[in-house]
Each structure stands twice: as structure tokens, then as C-alpha cells.
Structure 1
Amino acid sequence: MSLEERMTALERRLAALEAADRRAPRLGDGDFWALNGLKEQLAEAEAADGGVLFTGAVRLPTGEQYEWQYGALTEGLLADDWSAAADAFAALGHPVRLRLLREILGGRRTAAELAELEEIGTTGQIYHHLRQLTGAGWLQTTGRGRHEVPPGRVVPLLVVLSAARP
């Protein structure tokens, strides 16, 4: 392959990457409005070690809307027993469980609806995954075999997924 052909191929690949990056929705790139607000609150609280804040205003494909925020001081987070979070993270550590959560947020709420999906497993496997997610607090049953992500877990789930993106 000639140098010119290699350059043309490289330019095409770069253009594709740049286009994909432009399509990725993000808020506040280069604008630290949330961070600045957090810093102001930390200064007022005289929290020298800092803290973290995550928040969201979400409308699901089903029309449900959630607003949620949480902040914690660094000192408390570093002092906590992190092993207490292991079950919650472990429940998210399986591709089928993540797919189930996405489908449930999208409106498929019963095991029968979930069983219609391709590459999701048998009904027994689906129930196993639903039990794991429910036990870890990522799901709750709402009667008649329906499942939903609890309102207080919708934004945290999306935050965890955002943090896991490369």
C-alpha cells in the first residue's frame, strides 16, 4: 500500500472516530458548573478533603421522570467499608443482567416480556438474574410479576454506567 493510500485510509478512520465522538451526548463539556457549585458547598462546610456529587434529571422511554442527587464527603467515603458495596457491583457484573435492566427501564417489565428477547437465556436463567438484581436492590417487584428499577436507583444506575464508559 502506498503512502498516499495509507494516509487516505488514516484520514477516513480519523473522520469516523471524530463523527462518533460528536454523536456521543454529553453535558457541560468544558463547563464546570456542577463542580463549581460543589466546591462552593464544600468551602461552606469547611470540608478540606473534598467530596463528590452526582445528580440527574431523567425521563425514561416509558415516560417516567426522576430527579435525584447525592453528595458525600471524601473523608466519609474513604472511611466506609467498601466491601458493603460488593453485592451491588457484583449484580451489575453480568452482561445479561445489564441487558435486563436496560430492557426494564425501556418498558419490558415482566419475565414473559423479557423471555421474548434474543440471547437472554431460558426463563429459569432470567428468573435467576432477576433475583440477583432484586437482592442487590437494583430491581423491585411491583406485583403481578412486574419488575421495575426503584425510583431512587434509576439515576445511580445511569451514573455507574456513565462512570464505566471508556
Structure 2
Amino acid sequence: MNDADRLAALERRVAALEKRSQVPPSVPDEEVFWALDGLLARVGDPGAVLITGHVTLPDGRVARWQESAGTADLLDGDWSQHVASLAALAHPARIRLLGEVLRGAATASDLTRIDGMGTSGQVYHHLRQLVAAGWLHTLGGGRYEVPVARVVPLLTTLLGARR
């Protein structure tokens, strides 16, 4: 790659980073906080947390999901019971596998062909971890998919990790 090509590639990468970091255009608070306003109308202090979403996946499945929990219930709960589920997400290969599977159910064989994914044994190990934690389930023919009930929680977990 010559200097001009490297410079052009760098400029594209910088532009993409700048675009991702831009603050969205100013929107009136009543439009920005419509979900929060609905939550506030339903709960008092000390508050609650709500996650919700509507997703149409590339394979046509639709995930519509919402869950809320009171602040006191969350703060007083046993967080350690969620470690296995969160730990299953805490590996770059597993996150990558979930992203690939969300784009359409795939076989382990398909997933082993992804550049940099590792050996078939490593892929099967990661798939077993994700199935055990409930982030994936198996379909007939050795195919995997993210259960519809886990799509929005997965995406909101990733969204929260951006902060």
C-alpha cells in the first residue's frame, strides 16, 4: 500500500470515528425522554429501571421485549446469580459469534470459517458456553440462533457497555 492509499484509509477511519462520536442534533427533552417519562409516570421513588426494544432480525424474526425492575429490588438482589450469564459475554470470540449468529442462524461449521475465530474445538467450546448461559440455543441440523427473548437484553447490554 502506498502513502496515498494509507492516508486515504486513515482519513476514512478518522471520519468514521468522528461520525460515531458526534452528539445527536438537539432534540426537545419531551422527545428524548419519552420512555423515561412513561416510567416516571408509573413508579415513585426510589425509582426503577426499564429496558425495552423492538428488533427485526435479518432472518425475519421479530423481537419485542420489555422488562422493568424496581431500584430497591435490584440493589437488594443477589447479583452473583448473573455472573455466568455475564461471563459468557466476556470473551471477544463469544461476542463475535453472537453477532454473526444474530445476522442469521449459522452452523458451527459456518462459524469456524470466520477469519480469526480459531479452531473448530475453540468454536465449539464458545458455543457450549453461550448455550449454557442461554444466549444461544440449537436448532435442528446443528444450527444456532439467539433466542428471541434474549435479543433485546443482549443488544441493551451492548448499548449499556458503550457508556
Q: TM-score range by the shorter chain?
A: 0.7 to 0.9
Aligned-partner SS, 1:144: helix
1:19 Cα deviation after fit: 3.1
C-alpha displacement of 1:134: 0.6
Alpha-carbon distance change, 25 to 115 in structure 1, aligned in 2, over 3 angstroms: farther
| Equivalent-residue separation in structure 1 for 2:28 and 2:21 (angstroms) | 12
- The answer for the alignment partner of 1:153 in structure 2 is 150
Asked if 1 retains the 8 angstrom alpha-carbon contact of 2:135 and 2:146, the reply is: yes
Deviation at 1:29? 8.2
Specify which of 56, 74, 85 is matched with residue 82 of structure 2. 85
8 A contact 1:59–1:65 mirrored in 2: yes
Distance in 1 (CA, whole Å) between partners of 2:157 and 2:109 is: 27
2:45 aligns to what SS in structure 1? coil
Summarize deviations over 1:104-139 as a string: whole Å, max 9, x none: 001141001101110001111000000000111111
Q: What is the distance in 2 between the residues matched to 1:94 and 1:119?
A: 14
- Structure 1 stretches (4+) deviating beyond 2 angstroms? 15-22
Structure with the greater relative contact order (CA < 8 A, sep ≥ 6): 1 or 2?
A: 2
Residue 134 of structure 2 aligns to a residue whose secondary structure is coil
Q: Deviations over 1:10-53 (max 9, x none)?
A: xx9xx94543334x989x784100000000010xxxx4210000
Deviation at 1:63, TM superposition (A): 2.0
Distance in 1, Cα, partners of 2:155 & 2:28: 18
Q: Indicate yes or no: 2:34 matched with 1:33.
A: yes
2:28 and 2:68 map into 1 onto residues whose CA distance is 21
Change in Cα spacing, 1:106 to 1:162, as seen in structure 2 (3 Å) is same
When normalised by structure 1's length, the TM-score is 0.81
Aligned partners of 1:138 and 1:149 also within 8 Å: yes
Of the two, which has the highest radius of gyration?
1
Unaligned regions of 5+ residues in structure 1, if any? 1-11
